[in-house]
């Protein structure tokens, strides 16, 4: 009986620690998956489970609160809230303007240049050299 009580108490403590996220603000198109393949808009004040899958559109932002912690999910993100929150906390969200390069294999005095990426206009210019034109 005491083993059963201990398991029940542990389950309650675990459930209490995982709590739900409360939506503090929504900017743009932000949705959650209510059922497989069914997306619904998220509203301010709504509570979402950590396992809820959310999708933020272009120029959108979702601000969530869990206890005393605020989580900001940036535009063009899709996934479970708990995973997106971990990514937001890690600070590894890609390239940030104004950050210095920490390591580079490029020599400082290199004057070598390479031919740029081939585009349609550069390919057409090169092909034009091979063709004889009658004027």
For the chain, what is the domain count? Answer: 1
What's the pLDDT at 120? 63
- Report yes or no on 46 lying in a domain: yes
- Report yes or no on 3 lying in a domain: no
The 10s digit of each residue's pLDDT in 119-133 is 666 666 666 666 666
More confident residue, 88 or 116: 88
Using an 8 Å Cβ cutoff, are 73 and 64 in contact?
yes
- Report yes or no on 48 lying in a domain: yes
Q: b/e map of 80-98 (b: 16 or more CB within 10 Å)? A: ebeebbeebeeeeeeeeee
- Report yes or no on 99 lying in a domain: no
Residue 55 lies in domain: 19-90
- Report yes or no on 2 lying in a domain: no
Would the pTM of this model clear 0.85, i.e. be above it?
Answer: no
């Amino acid at each position: 009986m005491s083993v059963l009580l201990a398991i029940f108490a542990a389950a309650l403590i675990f459930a209490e620690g995982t709590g739900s996220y409360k939506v503090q603000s929504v900017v743009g198109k932000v949705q959650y998956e209510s059922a497989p393949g069914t997306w619904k808009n998220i509203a301010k004040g709504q509570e979402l489970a950590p396992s809820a899958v959310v999708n933020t559109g272009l120029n959108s932002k979702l601000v969530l609160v869990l206890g005393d912690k605020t989580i900001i999910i940036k535009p063009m993100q899709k996934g479970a809230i708990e995973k997106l929150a971990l990514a937001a906390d890690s600070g590894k969200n890609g390239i940030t303007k104004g950050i210095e390069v920490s390591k580079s294999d490029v020599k400082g005095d290199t004057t070598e240049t390479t031919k740029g990426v081939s585009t349609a206009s550069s390919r057409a210019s090169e092909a034009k050299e091979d063709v004889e034109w009658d004027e």
